[in-house]
Amino acid sequence: MRNTWLIIKREYLQRVRTRSFLVLTLLLPAIMTVSMALPAKIATIGQKAEHLVLVTSTREFGEQLRQQLLAQPLSQEADESDSESTQKKTEDLYTIDVDSNPTDSERAALRQRINTRDIDDYLWLTDGAIAVHDVSWNGREMPSGREKAWLSDTLGRIVLQQQLSKKGVSAAQADELLKPVKVDSFRVEGMRETKSNGTARILEIVVMIMLIYMAVLFYGISVMRSVLEEKNSRIMEVLLSSATSTELMAGKILGVGAVGLTQIVVWIVMAGVVALPSLAMQPKLSNLMVSPLVFACFAIFFLLGYLLYSTIYAAIGAVTTTEQEGQQMQFLGVIPLVLSVFMLTPVIRTPDSTAMVWMSLIPFFAPILMFGRIVVQTPPLWQILSSVVLLIGTEALLLVLCARIYRIGVLIYGKRATLPEVLKWLKYAKA
């Protein structure tokens, strides 16, 4: 145990004292923030309001549609609290004119105006097109799904108001009838109900799971490279003379893992200081609160996932002789992680389905899938405990097997070991 602790200390201090560690720890959050914000900022530089022309059979209908389009927020999820600001943004994004001359010659003239960039789009909204529920959006670029929904919802509302008016329903009564029903979502945890937000919940899942994915992948590969460096420099021969292969492997894995955990703690603290105040100003994200259970499970599954995959990467480093060969074999560890990320969508939609329950119990998928289920909808305690026990058992078995590969593999130079040779090491080597 003393040898393992010494190796952990050496691996940890050797890495945290490097300039690359300090630069990566302090600058990576800033680089990621800039890379996320810069494209959106660049896209708005020099952006002018899009010029739309509403071609309608009557000017009265066109003016009514124009006013409601400018008052209707583009986002279908906008809250009443931010409708005013959204309205201003809609007016800034679009300039809308009304054309009550729906003739073929006028349509040709509008096409010409689009080609000369006098206007950007025209919407063909004649009474005949509306009657058959088939209007057209014509422009240089295809409208987004959000823009189509913006027009469809507003136009449908006006048509319904007109139909109700013909039946003697007043404008105030029509507005009351057409007022959308607001649905609030609450998450039940035990005997307590807390208000939930779908956007915040998805953000929580994506951020924390991608953090697990990237950390496990990055630091697992870091273990493999460390083994290759010591193997090629022949330092491993000296170390094996004073410690067992199990002690060396465990010390290296835990030491590099401690470095990764240090970085993540620093990033979380920086995010709490810098990002949370700005998130609190966003109505959609103001209730983004991570429960203590989610934090505890994040730490558990991060550590167990890291130990599981870093053990595999250490064995890969032992059986290869160059970093290029190691990169070719990385797919052995990457495939389960990538599959886990691809299965996040069914986890979010149906976390309690039979397939997701059993997949989340498999140790190689559990760090991401079981944690994702916990964030979406906390599964029964026996499933969480079973997943943790299976992870620990699999890690213990892999540690024994990979230590045998490690003991012989680190002493072999010049060629990559074949599968029959690795099987012989497992049979005869003793850690």
More confidently predicted of 304 and 228: 304
CA dist 148 and 307 (Å) reads 49
In this model, does residue 144 exceed pLDDT 90? Answer: no
In this model, does residue 33 exceed pLDDT 50? Answer: yes
More confidently predicted of 17 and 406: 17
pLDDT cut 70: percent of the chain above it:
76
In this model, does residue 119 exceed pLDDT 50? Answer: yes
CA dist 134 and 186 (Å) reads 38
Model confidence pLDDT, tens digit, residues 209-218: 777 777 777 7
Model confidence pLDDT, tens digit, residues 278-300: 554 544 444 555 677 777 888 88
More confidently predicted of 420 and 255: 255
One-character DSSP codes across 192-253: EEEEE-HHHHHHHHHHHHHHHHHHHHHHHHHHHHHHHHHHHTTHHHHHHTTS-HHHHHHHHH
pLDDT cut 90: percent of the chain above it:
4
In the predicted model, what is the mean pLDDT of residues 145-161? Answer: 82
All CATH 3.40.190.10 domain ranges in the chain, comma separated: 48-183
Distance of CA 248 to the CA centre of its chain: 35
Look over the chain and give the mean of its residue pLDDT values, rounded to a whole number.
76
In this model, does residue 347 exceed pLDDT 90? Answer: no
Model confidence pLDDT, tens digit, residues 61-100: 888 888 888 877 765 444 444 444 344 467 777 888 888 8
Q: How confident is the model at residue 187 (pLDDT cuts 50, 70, 90)?
A: low
DSSP H or E stretch at residue 340? helix 331-342
The overall longest dimension of the chain from CA atoms, in Å, is 96
In the predicted model, what is the mean pLDDT of residues 399-427? Answer: 71
Say what the pLDDT of residue 156 is. Answer: 82
More confidently predicted of 19 and 192: 19
In this model, does residue 390 exceed pLDDT 90? Answer: yes
| Tokens of residue 223, six digits | 């273990």
| Tokens of residue 109, six digits | 């003239």
CA dist 424 and 421 (Å) reads 5
Q: How confident is the model at residue 412 (pLDDT cuts 50, 70, 90)?
A: low
Q: How confident is the model at residue 163 (pLDDT cuts 50, 70, 90)?
A: confident
Give pTM, 2 decimals.
Answer: 0.63
In the predicted model, what is the mean pLDDT of residues 110-125? Answer: 88
In the predicted model, what is the mean pLDDT of residues 238-261? Answer: 77
Q: How confident is the model at residue 4 (pLDDT cuts 50, 70, 90)?
A: confident
Q: How confident is the model at residue 42 (pLDDT cuts 50, 70, 90)?
A: low
Say what the pLDDT of residue 79 is. Answer: 44
Least confident range from 67-81, 122-136, 219-233: namely 67-81
Q: How confident is the model at residue 386 (pLDDT cuts 50, 70, 90)?
A: very high
Least confident range from 31-40, 254-263, 372-381: namely 31-40
Say what the pLDDT of residue 388 is. Answer: 92
Least confident range from 7-21, 88-102, 147-161, 173-187: namely 173-187
Residues 431, 399 contacting (CB under 8 angstroms): no
Say what the pLDDT of residue 151 is. Answer: 83
Say what the pLDDT of residue 75 is. Answer: 55
In this model, does residue 114 exceed pLDDT 70? Answer: yes
CATH class of the structural domain 48-183: alpha beta
Q: How far is CA 201 from CA 288, 313, 376, in A?
A: 7, 32, 7
CA dist 312 and 416 (Å) reads 16
Highest mean pLDDT among 4-18, 179-193, 315-329, 387-401: 387-401
